[in-house]
Homo-oligomer: A and B are copies of this chain.
Amino acid sequence: MLDSDFLSKVQRSFRVVQDEQVAALMEFDAEASLTRDHWERADGGGGDTRILKEGRVIEKGGLNFSAVEGAVTPALAQQLDTSATRFAATGVSSVLHPGNPHVPIIHMNVRYFTLDDGTWWFGGGIDLTPHFVVPAEAKAFHSDLKAICDRHAVADYSAFKPWADRYFSIPHREESRGVGGIFFDHMGREGQVNREEALAFCLDLSGHYAAIYKERAAPFVQSFVHADDMHWQGLRRGRYVEFNLVHDRGTRFGLVSGGRTESILMSMPPRGHWEYDHEPPEGSPQAETLGWLKKGVEGVDWLGQ
């Protein structure tokens, strides 16, 4: 039996999170067009995908809520390492691709999973992918995330930060996707976590997503854009595509297990660009950014910068 009372509570809370995120982002970027797509899943449940397009800040962004349930397929059983037979999952995820290359890309996800053997867990995180790394911005971003973690006994910035560094790395490029952030999974699966506290952390984190983004985006919204900057943005977006399609476990699992393709690939940039063996000129801001991204999967201690 799935514990449907707590599940319903999480679903309701996540719906509110999505509504508030959309409202805050539309206030920030009033010229963006907003579309809403309710969808159903043949095997049970469905979702609500909101797409922001062609705003003053956001060229293409998505915020997806889903609440699905069904039988644990063999693929899912292997992925989850479980012998349970029914699952329910609910989550909110978002990726925002700005038009101005000096504004960073951001990604957020919170999710709740429960099985009919009584186990449950939360997972999620927020990470930032600037096209041009600005250390002071990365530091401020990490500082915000640490402050949120520090408010919750269930959250540990010092563990979640390196988790994000390991997760958001692109091994075939020997690069980090961006300046990281926090990532966590299986929170509560081992049983020592209070689920209300875990939910409170997820709501605090996701509830600050739009505000965190505004702080990092606002100073750069009107930054001067050189043609070289657009070219570089295209290449970095290409890397974003490579990470998501080659390495991201959520994307890959979704695509091969029959998830809803459009909602999964909502994370794709509007455009990606590929060039053979591109190397930015020595000493350029592009080369400086690559220098930061190539510091290894251990990541950079941004708070110490």
Which residues of A are in contact with B by a Cβ distance under 8 Å? 35, 37, 49, 51, 53, 60, 62, 171-173, 234, 238, 241-242, 245-246, 252, 255-256, 261-262, 265-266, 268-277
CB contacts (< 8 Å) of A276 on chain B: these are 35, 37, 49, 51, 53, 60, 62, 262, 266
Contact A277 B37 (CB under 8 A): yes
A296: min CB distance to chain B, Å? 16
CB contacts (< 8 Å) of A270 on chain B: these are 273-275
Q: Using CB atoms, name the residue of chain B closest to A51.
A: B276
Contact A261 B173 (CB under 8 A): yes
A107: min CB distance to chain B, Å? 15
Contact A246 to B255, CB < 8 A, known contacts A49-B276, A268-B274, A271-B272: yes
Contact A245 B255 (CB under 8 A): no
A32: min CB distance to chain B, Å? 13
CB contacts (< 8 Å) of A37 on chain B: these are 276-277
**CB pairs A–B below 8 angstroms (17 shown):** A35-B276, A37-B276, A51-B276, A60-B274, A60-B275, A60-B276, A173-B261, A241-B241, A246-B252, A262-B276, A268-B274, A270-B273, A270-B275, A271-B271, A271-B272, A271-B273, A272-B274
CB contacts (< 8 Å) of A256 on chain B: these are 171-172, 246
CB contacts (< 8 Å) of A266 on chain B: these are 276
Q: Using CB atoms, name the residue of chain B closest to A266.
A: B276
CB contacts (< 8 Å) of A277 on chain B: these are 37, 262
Contact A268 B238 (CB under 8 A): yes
Contact A271 B49 (CB under 8 A): no
- CA–CA, A37 and B276, complex, Å: 10
- CA–CA, A33 and B65, complex, Å: 47
A16: min CB distance to chain B, Å? 23
Listed from nearest, the 9 A-B pairs whose CB atoms lie closest are: A268-B274, A245-B245, A172-B255, A51-B276, A262-B277, A272-B272, A172-B261, A245-B246, A271-B273
Contact A269 B261 (CB under 8 A): no
Beyond A269-B274, A272-B274, 10 additional contacts (C-beta under 8 Å) are: A37-B276, A49-B276, A172-B256, A238-B268, A241-B245, A242-B245, A246-B246, A265-B274, A271-B271, A272-B272
- CA–CA, A51 and B272, complex, Å: 19
CB contacts (< 8 Å) of A275 on chain B: these are 60, 270
CB contacts (< 8 Å) of A51 on chain B: these are 276
Q: Using CB atoms, name the residue of chain B closest to A173.
A: B261
CB contacts (< 8 Å) of A268 on chain B: these are 238, 274
A234: min CB distance to chain B, Å? 7
CB contacts (< 8 Å) of A245 on chain B: these are 241-242, 245-246
